């Protein structure tokens, strides 16, 4: 059985040979089938750079989604597309009194973890320095929007781009967009916060 990395590496190889950096889900389907990779919908989901194949890392490429019709584009500059999590110093760690609830550990989804952090007032303390602050909360959802932006010098136009928003809070006109993570990756795809914030 093929891997996601093999599919992406082959897509990159084909785009490079044709001299075009855009590809669509028809090509993804074709390449995935040739590699025996069954989960087509997962093939183009890269939320941290460790999932990129060595060929892309060597040549400093990642890809972004362009929306309508399942289009994607390879872009140069991994350090632009992924942000490395900053180290948390021991001096920055504080004890927090955890209050158990019957729903806290019901599941380990990103949405649930963000709910627990909010309900335990960790987010309120971190963002607002006030555990009784009362921000407006907008829960996880998906939406579509057409947007234009730049990655370095490259102009990106996305049409009806589907974006997932894990959580949004607003207090006194300050909007905070959240992206939850399972596990502890070294970095995350910037578009996961940038697209919802631009929206």
| Per-residue model confidence as pLDDT tens digits over 42-59 | 899 999 999 999 999 999
Query: Within the chain, which residues score under 70 in pLDDT?
Result: 1-2
In the chain, where the domains are located: 85-199
| The two three-digit tokens of residue 34, written as one number | 């040739």
Question: What pLDDT does residue 183 have?
Answer: 84
Q: Where do the H-state alpha helices sit in 19-158?
A: 25-35, 54-59, 78-81, 110-119, 122-128
pTM of the model: 0.87
**Which of 174, 149, 173, 170 lies closest to 159 in space, CA to CA?**
149
Question: What pLDDT does residue 1 have?
Answer: 46
> CA 8, CA 3: separation in Å to the nearest integer?
9
Question: What pLDDT does residue 2 have?
Answer: 67
Q: Residue 193 in 3-state DSSP?
A: helix
Cβ atoms < 10 Å from Cβ of 87: 7
- Give the torsion sign (CA, 57, 75, 27, 191): positive
> What is the per-residue pLDDT across 73-83, written as a single tens digit (0 to 9) for each?
999 999 999 99
**Which of 62, 51, 48, 50 lies closest to 12 in space, CA to CA?**
62
Q: How does DSSP classify residue 91?
A: G
């Amino acid at each position: 059985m093929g891997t996601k990395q093999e599919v992406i590496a082959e897509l990159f190889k084909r785009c490079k040979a044709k001299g075009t950096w855009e590809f669509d889900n028809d090509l993804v389907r074709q390449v995935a089938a040739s590699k025996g990779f069954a989960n087509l919908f997962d093939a183009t989901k890269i939320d941290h750079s460790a999932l990129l194949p060595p060929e892309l890392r060597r040549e400093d490429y990642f890809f972004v989604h362009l929306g309508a019709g399942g289009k994607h584009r390879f872009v140069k500059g991994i350090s632009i597309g992924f942000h490395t999590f900053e180290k948390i110093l021991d001096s920055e760690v504080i004890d927090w009194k955890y209050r158990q609830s019957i729903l806290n550990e019901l599941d380990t989804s990103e949405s649930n973890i963000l709910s627990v952090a909010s309900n335990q007032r960790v987010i309120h303390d971190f963002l607002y320095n006030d555990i009784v602050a009362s921000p407006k909360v907008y829960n996880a959802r998906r939406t579509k929007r057409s947007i234009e932006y730049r990655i370095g010098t490259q102009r990106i136009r996305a049409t009806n781009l589907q974006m997932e928003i894990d959580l949004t809070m607003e207090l006194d006109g300050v909007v905070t967009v959240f992206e939850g993570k399972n596990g502890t990756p070294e970095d995350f795809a910037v578009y996961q916060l940038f697209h919802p914030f631009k929206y």
